[in-house]
Amino acid sequence: MNLFNIIKEIETADPEIHERMSPRRDAIKNITSFGSKVAVAALPFAFVTLFKKAYGAVPTPAVNDVLNFALKLEYLEAYFYKTALSVPGLIIDTGYIETIGNDENGHIGALRQLLGDAAVASPQFDLTAKGAFPDVLSNYDTFLTVANMLEDTGVRAYIGQATNLLGNQLLLITALSIQVVESRHAAAIRQLRKSRGAVIEPWITGSSSLSNDTGIPSFNANYAGENNVIQNGIDVTTLSSASGSTTPYAVATQAFDEPLTKEAVLALVAPFFA
Partner 1 sequence: MLTQNRVYKKQILYRMKIKNQITANGANLPRRLFLRYAGAGAASVGLLAVDACHKDHKVVPFTGIDVGQGDSGLFNFTYAIKQVEAAFYSQVILTPYTGMTGDELTLLTAIRDQEILHCSFLKATLGSKAIIALTPDFSSIDFTNRLTVLFAAKNLEDTGVSAHCGSGYLIKNPVYLTLAAKILSVEGRHAAVIGNLLQNGFFASTVGSNGLNTNLSVADTLIVINKYLKNKVSAVSFNYVLT
- Residues lying near partner 1 in the complex (CB under 8 A) are found at 95-96, 99-100, 102-107, 109-110, 155, 158-159, 162-163, 165-169, 172-174, 176-188, 191, 201-203, 231-232, 234, 236, 239-242, 247-248, 251-252, 254-259
In whole angstroms, how close is the CB of 18 to partner 1 at the nearest point? 24
Q: No. of H helices and E strands in the chain?
A: 11, 2
CB of 244 to partner 1, least distance (A): 11
Q: How far is the C-alpha of 26 from the C-alpha of 13, rounded, in Å?
A: 21
- 218 and 148 Cβ atoms separated by less than 8 Å: no
Q: List all residues 6 or more positions away from 138 whose beta carbon is below 8 Å from its beta carbon.
A: 87, 90
Is the Cβ of residue 17 or residue 157 nearer to partner 1 in the bound state? Answer: 157
- Least distance (Å) between residue 43 CB and partner 1: 16
Verify cis geometry, omega within 30 degrees of 0, for the bond prior to 23: yes
Measured from the CB atom, the residue of 18 and 112 that comes closer to partner 1 is 112
CB of 173 to partner 1, least distance (A): 5
- Residue 129 or 236: the one with the smaller Cβ distance to partner 1 is 236
Distance of CA 35 to the CA centre of its chain: 37
Query: Cβ of residue 19: shortest distance to partner 1, in angstroms?
Result: 22
Q: Is the CB of 204 or the CB of 268 nearer to partner 1?
A: 204
Rounded Cα distance between 198 and 219, Å, is 15
Name the residue nearer to partner 1 (CB basis): 177 or 220: 177
Give yes or no for a contact between 78 and 105, defined as CB atoms under 8 angstroms apart: yes
